[in-house]
Structure 1
Amino acid sequence: MSCARSAARNIRIVETDVKEVVNDDGGALAGVHLTDGAFVERRVLAVATQMQARTEGLEGLKLPREDLPDNMGRRFASAMAGTTEIPGVWVAGNATDLTATQKTTG
């Protein structure tokens, strides 16, 4: 949603990092403490996330990584069919496409 559309709906955008989410005594969202020391009361909170592939155990391969657009995270750099610049090493799934999900059947 654009800043103009947010403002038209009286939605305040705060770009300061959140230090802590605070709940009231009943467990409902009360607000957030920001890193600048401010407390902002909220009943609703929307956040932008960064996706990150689970790549434990692959560090030793030193595969090149690349940033995704709009600060959405990082992935392994690969070409068609998941080939990498290291001969014999391919990447697949969310290691190269962070939005990839695994389908399960029941």
Structure 2
Amino acid sequence: MREAQEKKLTTKQYLIVASMSIALFFGAGNLIFPLHVGQLAGKNWGPAAIGFSITGVVLPLLSLLAVAITRSNGVYQIGLPVGKIFALSFMTLMQLASGPLFAAPRN
């Protein structure tokens, strides 16, 4: 197996990675949605806060770690060890989940 070369990042690259990480963890939904969830949860704010923390912090962190550990260039390469059909299906599902299935505006 070919050994990966270790490269030092430039300051500009560090800033780019840092800004992408901030965008991954702190979007507009993380600014507005927690207040709305807290209001709707009422006295059940504890479980609501735990659920929001899992979906808003833990899952993005796991995705960042998955890419860092596997050193992949994208979602397709993450799923490729399982198989080509799985990788294609997984990539397609991720694209649909981030857009048309969940994030698209609704009436």
Instruction: Return the index of the structure with the highest Cα Rg.
Output: 1
Normalised by the length of structure 1, the TM-score is: 0.22
Higher share of residues assigned helix: 2
Normalised by the length of structure 2, the TM-score is: 0.22
